[in-house]
Structure 1
């Protein structure tokens, strides 16, 4: 059987704030939450669980594939909220998007400091 990605826990400084941020940016669906987890669902039945761990955590990188219309809406939200963003992961090209791999992409930080990448075309 081929493995399918099912869920991940994303360390958060404020789990509820993170869930709301991702719901808006990714147009995700709120899912039932339990224990320390604030849960949302994205495409392919993937569950994102936000929780505050009892220790400091390093920043992670999460990339999301969006269709062009969703990218436009997400980028408009980034602009409307004044969220700092870059065309590159090194954060040298501030306020820009890239046109890599035949699509568009942008990098930003979520409320807990994780690097998000929104792209319209997969790398492979």
Structure 2
């Protein structure tokens, strides 16, 4: 028997949950993050939420990777916001191609960091798809 499961939410540890959530929502053009218990919640278009949580004082935050599949128009808008904010971006997760956009699998993709150092990605075509 195959069980169908959808990702509902994930917790994103942050140096400042409000700043991190607002940054991501702003780049992606999503609704303003909402508080829920100790979290600042960023809701994506497919109903998955990223629940930002302040890390303990002095705790090291392990960088995580989060990828967002966008339409071409949404990619253009998000990419423009990254550049407008003066943020660094790369064509690859190893950050060896700074200031470039990848065109893997016929789409476009860019990696950038959030305020806590998580590696975010926007792309227009799923890899291998």
- Kindly state the Cα deviation for residue 31 of structure 1 after the two structures are TM-superposed: 5.1
Q: The residue matched to 1:94 in structure 2 has which SS?
A: coil
Structure 2 runs not aligned, ≥5 long: none
Root-mean-square deviation (Å): 1.3
The two structures have a TM-score, normalised by structure 2, of: 0.90
Q: The residue matched to 1:116 in structure 2 has which SS?
A: strand
Of the structure 1 ranges 32-41 and 5-14, higher mean CA displacement relative to structure 2 is found in 32-41
> How do 1:32-47 and structure 2 match up within 5 A?
32-47=34-49
Distance 2:28 2:39 in 1: 18
Q: The residue matched to 2:74 in structure 1 has which SS?
A: helix
- Kindly state the Cα deviation for residue 84 of structure 1 after the two structures are TM-superposed: 0.4
**How many residues align structurally?**
124
Cα gap change, 1:31/1:115 in structure 2, threshold over 3 Å: closer, same or farther? Answer: closer
Say which of 109, 114, 119 aligns to 1:110: 114
Deviations 1:16-47 (A, max 9, x none): 00111111111222354133211121021111
Distance 1:29 1:41 in 2: 7
- In structure 2, the residue matched to 1:24 is 26
The two structures have a TM-score, normalised by structure 1, of: 0.93
Distance 2:28 2:8 in 1: 17
Say which of 11, 15, 20 aligns to 2:13: 11
Structure 1 runs not aligned, ≥5 long: none
